[in-house]
Amino acid sequence: MPAISDAARTPVLVGASGGPARPETRHVALEGMTCSSCVSSIEGALNAVPGVVDAQVNFASEEATIEVAPGSVGIDELISAVSGAGYGAR
């Protein structure tokens, strides 16, 4: 069975004109992280939200930067995902 490359797993966003669409960036302030495992848990929860293209958590600044498909995910859904993972978000 052939291996799936990382490129095959990367979502391609298509704009209204049929060309590539740029993801929208959302920022969420985080609370309750104590270690790098917390970072992984929050990133996993955010990346599981439909419409999220990529989520990166910065432990030092206590902030998540989330790239989403245009118009697909609201900030409330992202905050809910973080809360569901057991952490605070605003």
Distance CA 41, CA 68 (A): 18
Would you place residue 21 in the very low, low, confident or very high pLDDT band (cuts 50, 70, 90)?
confident
Helix, strand or coil for residue 15?
coil
Instruction: Please write the tens of the pLDDT for every residue from 25-81.
Output: 999 999 999 999 999 999 999 999 999 999 999 999 999 999 999 999 999 999 999
Question: How many other CB atoms sit within 10 Å of the CB of residue 70?
Answer: 13
Residue 63 pairs in a beta bridge with 29, 58
Q: Report residue 13's pLDDT band, with 50, 70 and 90 as the boundaries.
A: low
Please state the separation of Cα 79 from the chain's center in Å: 11
Q: Are the beta carbons of 41 and 86 closer than 8 angstroms?
A: yes
Contacts of 35 (CB under 8 A, 6+ apart): none
pTM of the model: 0.79
